[in-house]
Amino acid sequence: MRCPASEPAKLLFPSAFSVVCLLSTVIPRHIRWRSLFLLALLMTTLLWPLKYFAERYYLERLMEQHRQTLDLYVANLLGTLHRFEVLPQALVRMPELRALLMAPQAAPTQRQVNQLLAQFAAQSQAEAVYLMDARGTTLASSNWQEADSFVGRNFGFRPYFRQAMQGQPGRFFGLGVTSGRRGYFFAAPLLSDAAGTPQTLGVLAVKVNLDATEVLWGKGPEHFLVTDELGVVILSSRDDWRFHATRSLSRVEQELIAAHRPYGTPSPAPLQLDHSQWLTQERFLKEVGWTVSILAPQRLLSTPVREALLTAAAVLLVLLLVLAVLIQRRRHYLEHQAQDARARRELEIRVLERTAALESLNTRLRAEVHEREQTQQALVQAQDDLVQAGKLSALGTMSASISHELNQPLGAIRSYADNAGLLLQQGRTEAVSDNLQQISQLTQRMARIIAHLKAYARHEAPKPEPVELCSALDDSLVLLERRLKKLGITVQRDIPDTPLWVLAGDTRLRQILGNLLSNAVDALGEQRGERRLFVRIQQQGERLRLILRDSGPGFSDEALQRAREAFFTTKARAEGLGLGLAICDTLIRAVAGELQLANHPEGGALVTLQLQLCTAPVREPEA
């Protein structure tokens, strides 16, 4: 039997996976649920070592992440301090400062030094650069024009001033007594040029604003602390921790704070911090005597550990559920085998009975299908016969016009022949040649009429071929010329003079044009007043549109919907079978054309015939 444990369970609990696989292979036939409960207790004990390894793994990863963050912040803080460390030592060499210390009452010199210090402060981005005399009184400052100017103020109590007066570089962090802003102070002594032991004339101090370093800490769950040598928080990502003591201060340290005033308060309040709720990592900076600490809440460790335990518990639960399902399925397996055997025998008997019934039903269905196929063939043959009957009916209608058209050329031929005999006797051969040419043209016209009549009457498969549209249209109008004159119908043409060849069969195109024109003439025969027929040809790209419009009553709504149906007609039964438009629609679609029926806005029917343009056929020269 295949082990039911999943791949995630195998990765999280390799030992549990082995136990489940082993148990699933040796499950007895009638296992009790008490054994499954004992197995669940055994697998639950695996959560305690998992918790230990998860805490160890996530703690190491969290400490490594915080170490990198701490290194980055320490490097940025020390970089900021080192950038301003050498600035006082470089500025004390300026002769303007020494001149002001030698003559403190010289107003021009003081103004020049103020401007010079302001320029250096702007270029170095220091918060303030100021010059003090030997007593600590500020003579010139970069902020001499501001409201909180240092000029005239005494800072002799500051440690950096005392260190500089002793000839040492001065360093100090504190809250400004004038500006109220924190800063780190660098100071350098300014010595006289006298021979022998130089005398300290004054001190040049540079104040650096460290508020920008707190911006780098962001808004994450971790918090930063920077404490000085007294354990007082001087920089922090939380405002309420600033200037609080992280340890108890001795009396000497409190007196030192009261003398130097670095925090704005003589006794910093203790920082109420529960260290059990924080993961702390520290770094001591020997250059300034500060300690940088990063504090992460315990939830950063407890949350992933809890999620790992929940995931493991869920996997264990799934494993137990899978094992329970396997036990339940195995219990019912034998019962289902017996039921399946009985059902299989009953199903085989039913299949045999149904098979015999289906064979009998298939025999009857084949007989019915054969009968329906014969009926369908008879129906198609009847429809073809009706279509041919409609064509013959239309052919009989056109017989009168055709006989008239044949009699007219015959009479003309006889007249041309008699004239040719007289002209031949007179020796006028050129006139005889003209008469013979006219006779030839008339015989060709009669041949086309007779060929059109024969093709219209016989069955012929559609074979699209190039046909000259204007010629076919003229012949169709000629066949209807007698009816047009009898009914007084005026034909208005808008046809190009150049030949237009379309892809269609010559016989089919003439049949389509004959039916459409005949319908228009029939519709105008019922119209009183002026009777007009408009014929127009438009070219649109590779398509050609033949537009037929009459001034008759137009199509009814029912006629527009059913005009293409066979045996639908609005005429009397004796006048038509309703096959004209149905035949036209079938023939035009066979040559990739389209027949559109509509009513013109000004009245009358509007029939549009769209055909495919083609090039004229290339005929071989006659021998």
**pLDDT tens by residue, 285-295:** 888 888 888 88
Give me the residues of the chain with pLDDT under 70, please: 1-33, 36, 194-196, 215-219, 383-405, 407-408, 445, 448-449, 451-463, 566-568, 571-579, 619-623
Give dist(CA 207, CA 204) in Å, integer. Answer: 10
Query: 520 near 479, Cβ under 8 Å?
Result: no
Give dist(CA 256, CA 271) in Å, integer. Answer: 20
End-to-end CA distance of the chain: 95
Give dist(CA 317, CA 323) in Å, integer. Answer: 10
Task: Report pLDDT for 20.
Answer: 44
* Pair of tokens at residue 164: 């500089």
Query: 462 near 469, Cβ under 8 Å?
Result: no
* Pair of tokens at residue 304: 């992933």
Torsion of CA 399, 400, 405, 407, to 10 degrees: 110
462-612: CATH architecture: 2-Layer Sandwich (3.30)
Domain residue extents for the chain: 86-209, 214-299, 462-612
Q: Which long-range contacts (C-beta less than 8 Å, at least 24 apart) are formed by 152-160?
A: 153/177, 153/178, 155/205, 156/132, 157/259, 157/260, 157/261, 158/185, 158/260, 159/260, 160/185, 160/186, 160/187, 160/203, 160/205
CATH hierarchy code of domain 86-209: 3.30.450.20
Pairing of strands 489-494, 531-540: parallel
φ and ψ at residue 216, rounded to 5 degrees = -70, -15
Bridge partners of 68?
Answer: none
Closest CA to 547 of 476, 482, 606, 591: 606
Q: Dihedral sign for Cα 449, 451, 457, 462, please.
A: negative
Element (H, E) at 221: none
- Starting at the earlier edge strand, list the strands of the sheet with 290-297: 233-236, 223-227, 290-297, 278-285
Closest CA to 592 of 460, 470, 462, 468: 462
**Is there a shared CATH topology between the 86-209 domain and the 462-612 domain?**
no
Give dist(CA 112, CA 184) in Å, integer. Answer: 26
Q: How many of the other CB atoms lie within 10 Å of CB of 279?
A: 17
Closest CA to 267 of 286, 251, 285, 283: 251
Running DSSP on this structure, what letter comes out for residue 464?
Answer: -
Q: Does domain 214-299 have CATH number 2.30.110.10?
A: no
DSSP 126-159: -SEEEEEETTSBEEEETTTTSTT--TT-B-TTSH
Q: Which amino acid is at 328?
A: Q
Give dist(CA 144, CA 135) in Å, integer. Answer: 19
- pTM for the model: 0.45
Task: Report pLDDT for 228.
Answer: 86
